[in-house]
Amino acid sequence: MTGRTAMIAGTGRLPHELAAVLDDPLIAALDGFAPDGLAAESFRLERLVPFMDSLLDRGVERVVFAGLVRRPPLDPEAFDPRTAMLVPRIAMAMQQGDDATLREVIALFEEAGLAIAGVADLAPHLVPGAGMLAGRPGPGDDADLARAREIVAGLGHLDIGQGAVVARGLCLAVETLPGTEAMLDFVARTRPEGRGGVLWKAPKPGQDRRIDLPAVGPETVAQAAAARLAGIGWEAGGVVLIDRRATIAAAEAAGLFLAAVP
């Protein structure tokens, strides 16, 4: 690849792992969502156009998004004139849901002359292909995975979430705006006694996979163990695996399986 890469970094571990494999990346973060321990220049959504201009001025040709970002509060008085002209487009997309919002963000960067790269494009080792990474599903787990997969596909068509928890064929929880952490915390607090069930994660059907891929990491494993699940499955090639070694070690220590399903 020629030209410089800019990483729009959010919170979490992914920006650190991606920064380690990029050649001289320009790292920026939306105000209030900078990753801990990673130097990043801050920008505000209200001044998006000047920010994109500054990327081009510094030789940036492609942008990759990595890490968790929530919708920030906007200050109407902080908009520069050119960004203000984009407000109707952004507002209309936000009313249609997260997927529409992300597609509009991609469109804005591309219209400015900046290509969007996905994590899988720049660091394919972070998006594992099919295989068992830890343990093996037990009796009933495959059926729970199939059921959870069906549920997540249905949620995705409605632009609701990218995860679900199923035990013995029953849906214990689905991922909504608060995210996977909140879903697994809910399961840990409310599920019946006993152990079993699975967490399934996958991109939304038709999702642009250059942005907002679901992720699994050591914290996901810890929460799945606290929720007394049997394992975690995800769509092969569609989920980012954070800190692979630590995630696998945590799953093996907790007796959970990890399965990237084709």
Are the C-beta atoms of 169 and 144 separated by less than 8 Å?
A: yes
| pLDDT band, residue 102 (cuts 50/70/90) | confident
Q: Is the pLDDT assigned to residue 1 strictly greater than 70?
A: no
Domains 4-122 and 127-261 share a fold: no
Query: Which range has the worst mean pLDDT, 5-19, 20-34, 40-54, 93-107?
Result: 93-107
- Predicted confidence at residue 221, as pLDDT, reads 98
- Predicted confidence at residue 2, as pLDDT, reads 63
- Predicted confidence at residue 135, as pLDDT, reads 97
- Domain locations in the chain as residue ranges: 4-122, 127-261
Determine the Cα–Cα distance for residues 160 and 11; give it in Å rounded to an integer: 21
Structure tokens given for 138: 């037990």
Q: Could you report the per-residue pLDDT of 158-196, keeping only the tens digit for each?
A: 889 999 999 999 999 999 989 999 999 999 999 988 899
Q: Could you report the per-residue pLDDT of 43-70, keeping only the tens digit for each?
A: 998 999 999 999 999 999 999 999 988 7
- Predicted confidence at residue 93, as pLDDT, reads 84
- Predicted confidence at residue 194, as pLDDT, reads 85
Average pLDDT over residues 223-248: 97
Q: Could you report the per-residue pLDDT of 114-155, keeping only the tens digit for each?
A: 999 999 999 999 999 999 999 999 999 999 999 999 999 999
Extended beta strands in the chain, E state: 4-9, 26-30, 41-43, 60-66, 115-117, 131-134, 163-167, 170-174, 198-201, 215-216, 231-235, 240-241, 257-261
One of 2.40.30.170, 3.30.1370.10, 3.75.10.10, 3.40.140.80 is the CATH number of 127-261, namely 3.40.140.80
Minimal CA–CA distance to 6: which of 53, 46, 65? Answer: 65
Distance set, CA 225 to CA 63, 148, 230, 257 (Å): 35, 18, 8, 11
Average pLDDT over residues 16-30: 94
pTM of the model: 0.89
Minimal CA–CA distance to 229: which of 255, 201, 259, 250? Answer: 255
Structure-model confidence comparison of residues 151 and 94, the more confident one: 151
One of 1.10.10.60, 3.30.70.1290, 3.40.50.20, 3.40.50.1370 is the CATH number of 4-122, namely 3.40.50.20
Average pLDDT over residues 239-243: 97
**Mean pLDDT, the chain, whole residue set:** 93
